[in-house]
């Protein structure tokens, strides 16, 4: 697969680069960004943290707002941030133009329902196609961890739980923990997967943790002043499911913090150090 470099900037001795490529899985052109720490080279490939962003976001939100590069440079970790959905001419969107479904809201699932199934295969893109592309073109190893925010926190948890052989550790900020039981999740899962709720369980962190013990460590940070906390996020159900299965999930409730990237900035270094312990340990 070929990739096209769209931009690059030197930062903390490393490089932030943005690329475009044609995705066979999503049947459209996709964009992603990568941060390579100073030590990354053909002779010294580095491990990768995959970051999944939330509703309405692109690769740019995390890379520009999270303030993660200083710590990533020091720890010697690459960061890859994909887009949150397929895009382009012919890719269907919410017919009413709502922000919580369609473009910018791929929910990291493989859609089975028309017309969404022609493009919305974000699960396979994140798990298979994107890592293969990154490992082919950049000085990185196949040692990976995964993290994300909100819808991306949901994606990081479900993908990490279902693919423990691919990821050393999992973390999330303000994840949609139980999408089967919240408005955002119910709208997305019913459209992408159909109305059989049994099919939804494979993309629900609470259901996955209730069914089996997690084999990778999980760190979750949640702001107590998050406006979406009660209706959409439900971290207490995630913790209860983890405790019932004996899974290693650490939930930190952070007083005064909301759902924004100010919250992510405040604790991203903790998450990078958490992942570094497993990526380089």
pLDDT digits (tens, 9 = 90+) for 119-130: 999 999 999 999
**Mean pLDDT of the chain, nearest integer:** 98
Region 54-69: mean pLDDT is 98
Asked whether the predicted pLDDT for residue 1 surpasses 90, the reply is: no
The three-class DSSP label of residue 150 is coil
Helix spans in the chain (H): 59-65, 69-75, 122-124, 130-137, 151-162, 183-193, 197-200, 205-211, 235-245, 261-279
Q: Count how many Cα atoms sit within 13 Å of the Cα of residue 112 in the half-sphere of its side chain.
A: 9
**Percent of residues, the chain, with pLDDT higher than 70:** 100
Sheet holding 249-254, edge to edge: 3-11, 14-23, 28-36, 78-82, 46-52, 140-148, 170-173, 218-223, 249-254
Q: Are 221 and 254 in contact (CB under 8 A)?
A: yes
Q: Are 146 and 52 in contact (CB under 8 A)?
A: yes
Asked whether the predicted pLDDT for residue 242 surpasses 90, the reply is: yes
Does the active-site annotation cover 93?
no
The three-class DSSP label of residue 135 is helix
Region 166-187: mean pLDDT is 98
Q: What's the rounded Cα separation, in Å, for the pair 77 and 48?
A: 6
- Which one from 59, 226, 247, 275 is the annotated catalytic residue? 226
Does the active-site annotation cover 149?
no
Residue that is written with structure tokens 């930062």 in the block = 11
- Which one from 119, 149, 154, 259 is the annotated catalytic residue? 259
Q: Are 198 and 147 in contact (CB under 8 A)?
A: no
> Which whole-number Å values give the CA distances from 47 to 20, 50, 90, 126, in the listed order?
22, 10, 35, 16
Does the active-site annotation cover 226?
yes
Q: What is the pLDDT of residues 128-147, one digit of tens each?
A: 999 999 999 999 999 999 99
Going by the DSSP 8-state scheme, the letter that residue 180 receives in this structure is G
Region 222-231: mean pLDDT is 98
Residue 189: closest CA among 99, 113, 103: 113
Region 210-217: mean pLDDT is 97
Q: What's the rounded Cα separation, in Å, for the pair 225 and 280?
A: 34
Q: What's the rounded Cα separation, in Å, for the pair 35 and 17?
A: 6
Asked whether the predicted pLDDT for residue 29 surpasses 90, the reply is: yes
* 162 — pLDDT class (breaks 50, 70, 90): very high
Q: What's the rounded Cα separation, in Å, for the pair 161 and 169?
A: 10
* 83 — pLDDT class (breaks 50, 70, 90): very high
What pLDDT sits at residue 111?
98
Phi-psi region of 73 (alpha: psi -120 to 50; beta: other; left: phi over 0): alpha
* 266 — pLDDT class (breaks 50, 70, 90): very high
Q: What's the rounded Cα separation, in Å, for the pair 5 and 153?
A: 27
The three-class DSSP label of residue 89 is coil
Q: What's the rounded Cα separation, in Å, for the pair 189 and 109?
A: 8
- Which one from 150, 171, 177, 247 is the annotated catalytic residue? 150
* 281 — pLDDT class (breaks 50, 70, 90): confident
Q: Are 230 and 254 in contact (CB under 8 A)?
A: no
């Amino acid at each position: 697969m070929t990739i096209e470099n769209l931009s690059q900037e030197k930062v903390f001795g490393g490089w932030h680069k943005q690329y475009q490529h044609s995705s066979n899985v999503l049947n459209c052109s996709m964009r992603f960004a990568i941060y390579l720490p100073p030590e990354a080279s053909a002779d010294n490939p580095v491990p990768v943290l995959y970051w999944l962003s939330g509703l309405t976001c692109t690769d740019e939100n995390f890379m520009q707002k999270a303030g993660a590069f200083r710590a990533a440079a020091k720890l010697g970790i690459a960061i890859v941030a994909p887009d949150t959905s397929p895009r382009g001419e012919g890719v269907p969107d919410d017919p009413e133009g709502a922000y919580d479904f369609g473009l910018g809201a791929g929910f990291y699932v493989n859609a089975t329902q028309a017309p969404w199934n022609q493009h919305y295969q974000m699960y396979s893109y994140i798990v298979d196609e994107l890592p293969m592309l990154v490992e082919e073109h950049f000085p990185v190893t196949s040692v990976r961890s995964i993290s994300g925010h909100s819808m991306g926190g949901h994606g990081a948890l479900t993908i990490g739980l279902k693919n423990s052989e691919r990821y050393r550790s999992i973390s999330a900020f303000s994840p949609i923990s139980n999408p089967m039981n919240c408005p955002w999740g119910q709208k997305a899962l019913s459209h992408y997967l159909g109305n059989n709720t049994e099919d939804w369980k494979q993309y629900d962190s609470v259901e996955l943790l209730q069914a089996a013990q997690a084999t990778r460590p999980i760190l979750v940070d949640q702001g107590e002043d998050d406006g979406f906390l009660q209706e959409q996020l439900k971290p207490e159900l995630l913790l209860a499911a983890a405790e019932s299965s004996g899974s290693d999930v650490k939930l930190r409730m952070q007083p005064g913090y909301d759902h924004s990237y100010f919250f992510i900035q405040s604790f991203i270094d903790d998450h990078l150090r958490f992942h570094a312990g497993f990526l380089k340990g």
